[in-house]
Structure 1
């Protein structure tokens, strides 16, 4: 063999089999399955397939690790590692079905923008990561054991042919700080949903558990300290690109109009006067919010996303107008007692055809049962443009301090956050009404 032919062969090699058990095959150029054995070289372009008892572990040329668990089919579409020039690195997997785990190596660490794992529904990009994916024709789930991933539905703004994480309005970030939770996608026309650890009954690690020969999952040192910079950077990157994709950034958004009614026609009913909620002592805020760029009025940039996105804060949830921030770091959630909260600060609007009309919140209520990890909340939104609208939700409190709305009033989305120690809470909400009309807002609570 000549030197040139040896180099050409090496460039095609993706890795080798480090462990195999049960029904495990590689699909050859003839399209037929051939049994794999430990030590066998695997090239880019090949497909690995396991049966009901099969496991295949690969050690890639850059030191990465890949596990293909039972009843799975993984295609190594591209795997090129250039130790001298990171820009030339390319890694692309397609998980056609089943469960696979990926621990990134030197190529993925150096060239995150050139790493991609596709499923029939989703694209998954990385931030230096150990993650596990489950794929069927109808569902994609991903859980993170170290680092962070970005999951996006495959669409016109997230092509299967591309590399790297997609950055669209439907992209969602999952970090190792949300350990044992997973993102789930069931429809290309929707964003992935976060399933908290308490409800993670169909996690990829539950559907197809790892063999003891797999590397043990280890938490990031930064995650343990509550300062996973890669995770926060991923959130900021996706949030910034989400702003660009929500609406045309140059679109003129009318200013919020005051809650008045100048129509003196006696045949038209007027909105009844409402009593504002009683004032409460305002504690120093541990939550902040900023508007997406298209909703920032000229001269009021201090109300925008960029103004709220300061060091020491992380963006976690949002609705059509607001992104909600909290203090970065570990959140300690009380494990007993019931807290009754008072509304300390809020913004609420009626939105019609993307025009905002200021609204008022009355009858606010938030109760958190720390022992049972449950919360209940309700608000009434009063606007000149509509009869009073009830927003109500009951849901789960996760061990990371997330409030995940479960049972809501119709067409309502509500998610929020707890501060460490449970003395403050905040959430964003949005309820769709008829046509292009909705009520939405953001709230902060103290106790």
Structure 2
């Protein structure tokens, strides 16, 4: 057996040769290197086609047939030979079933992933962009085709959900010819980046993909307590840089950017540490009009929060006690809340600017005895004119708020002591989609 240093050099030469290859016939047999791990946080294994497994380390090479299994708190970034990027989130299992491309014989190429469980993000590379009809990501329930895309998928045996950052995807039931083929299925449902605030969701009992309000899969998949205190297979404690890397997927962070990002995030966390509820905003999300109080999601996650609600751009986070969620014990009676922060805009297609929206005459009443809430906002914008947001709904045992009636979609939550509240709202209007977030206190 070659010494480890020589093996590592050989593997890197193999990757360099593939990257330098002229686009003619480019194929990837089962023993060819197709990707390299560029960032590894926590524990993750490569499970090879023959059943052998090994720990994933930075620089580990990946071949067709390999599967990445991340454990609780584990996180892996992969860079493929054509420039494609894949991020495998904690507690996930993803396999590379095919990775090949031929410009002269496109029917001979195929890029095929399988997400058995968990969350992954995929940014299409040169090969996938040149042969979109030969790119496929399968989950236990769904077949996903791409159209030159950056997207994220969450899957298990009971459901599949996908959201798009750029480009578009199609999602179809993994049945019949669709399950055996590649690319987009004929009956697939389209989701594009222009469809702001939406995702495609497919449930096992449902059988067909449906549009739904977007969730922020990346925060939901991060086990904060483990990310802060877990250890890797060499028993090294995960530090703040590891936590930030695990929390951030957009853009995919390189190791050279982590130190500066951590310093900035820690400063922002310390500057915004008052209160129990916080709004986190992803770096790629355009701020809503009036947003002077949200913080970067990366910073919020460094100080251990649990997620109460989210729409893919913003997420409502509740501070934990150490590594444990705060027990929801709000007391009894009826309370009137005062608005302490609000931001709203009318969101239009990607090539049009957001329309600023102001909020006034805001009310929120919570009946803790009945676990119910009622809220009303008056909104106004240059093209929107005057409108009203009105909703009523329930509060579950964890303090999460969901609207059951009214003219708007609402999701949010309360602090453990019931003295703070916050919610997202979304409503279709003639000029686009009205979206906003609020914070309340009493």
Please give the TM-score of this superposition, normalised by the length of structure 1. 0.48
Q: Which has the larger radius of gyration?
A: 1
Please give the TM-score of this superposition, normalised by the length of structure 2. 0.48
